[in-house]
Amino acid sequence: MHAHDGSRTVLSMRLLLLRHGQTPSNVEGILDAAYPGPGLTTLGHAQARAVPAALAHEDIAAIHVSRLLRTHETAAPLAASRGLSPRLTEGIEEIRAGIHQGRQDAEAVDAYQDNHHRWSAGELEGGLPGGETGREFWDRWTRALRHIADQHAEDATVVVISHGAAIRVFASVAGGLGAASLSERPLYNTGLVTLVGGPAAGWRVEDWISSPVGGDHLLGGTAHDVTADDEADAKV
C-alpha cells in the first residue's frame, strides 16, 4: 500500500491478523494459552479450508504462525494454495492465562476478560497472577511484528495467524480504539483484523471482520468462546 506524505510516497505494510479456526477449548470456553494446545475441530478445519477463497484477492507475500498447533492447522490450506511454507514466529501467541490456565468457570473468565479491558484502556502495568503484564504482552507482540516486517518489503501484505484475545487487545491498543472496542468488536474463529503501517510509524486498523472470512455459515456455536467475545458466558 502507498500513502503520500507531502511530496514523499510512504510505503505501508498490511498485516492480515487471522484468528485460528475453532478448537475444542473454544467450544467449551476453556482458557487455554499453553503450548502446544489443541488442534482444530471438524468445523475449525472447514473454517480453515474456506480461507484461501476468502483471501483470493490478496497478494500474500508470506504466512506467519505462532508456536501453537491450532495456527499451523489453520494455515495449512492457505499455504498449500499459495505454495508458501508457514513461518513460525515467536511472540504472537495468545495472552497468557496464568493461574487461570485450563479453567472455564466464571471467576476465571471474568478475571481474564477484565484484564483485557484494563490493557485496552492503556493500563499496561498490571496482569494476571502467574501470567504476564500488559507491558510484557505489548513488548513481545511489538518485537514479533517488527521481526515479521524486517523479513518483507515495506509494502508487502502478510498473513499472521494468531489468537483471539491477543489480536483483539493488540489491535485495540495499537489502533487507539480503547477498551470499548473489545465489547463492540468480537473476533470469532477465522475472523480477520487488518493493520496498516509499520514498526516505525505504528499500526492503524484498516478493517475488522468479526465473523469467519469464509462466511457466517461457518460461525458455529460461540456462546462460550470467551477469548472472542466479551459477551460470551463462562461454561460453568
For the domain that residue 42 is a member of, what is the CATH number?
3.40.50.1240
Per DSSP (E only), the strands in 32-181 are 60-65, 87-88, 157-162
Please give the order of strands across the beta sheet that includes 60-65. Answer: 87-88, 60-65, 157-162, 13-19, 192-198, 202-209
Q: Is 94 a residue of the active site?
A: yes
Q: Which domain holds residue 37?
A: 2-152+165-218
Percent of the chain at pLDDT > 70 equals 96
Residue-level pLDDT at 182: 80
Q: Does residue 65 lie within any of the structural domains? A: yes
Q: Does residue 33 lie within any of the structural domains? A: yes
Q: How many domains does the chain have?
A: 1
Name the pLDDT band for 7 (thresholds 50, 70, 90).
very low
Q: Is 132 a residue of the active site?
A: no
Q: Is the pLDDT of residue 195 over 60?
A: yes
Q: Does residue 87 lie within any of the structural domains? A: yes
Helix, strand, coil percentages for the chain (3-state, nearest 5): 35, 20, 45
- Mean local confidence (pLDDT), 19-40: 97
Q: Does residue 223 lie within any of the structural domains? A: no
Residue with cell 471474568: 110
Q: Does residue 202 lie within any of the structural domains? A: yes
Selecting among 64, 94, 117, 132, the annotated active-site residue is: 94
Q: Does residue 234 lie within any of the structural domains? A: no
Residue-level pLDDT at 79: 99
Q: Does residue 201 lie within any of the structural domains? A: yes
Measured between alpha carbons, how far apart are the two ends of the chain, in Å?
Answer: 46
Is 176 buried (19+), middle (13-18) or exposed (0-12) by CB count in 10 A?
exposed
Selecting among 20, 72, 100, 224, the annotated active-site residue is: 20
- Mean local confidence (pLDDT), 30-58: 98
Q: Does residue 224 lie within any of the structural domains? A: no
CA distance 153 to 151: 7
Q: Is the pLDDT of residue 8 over 60?
A: no
Residue-level pLDDT at 37: 96
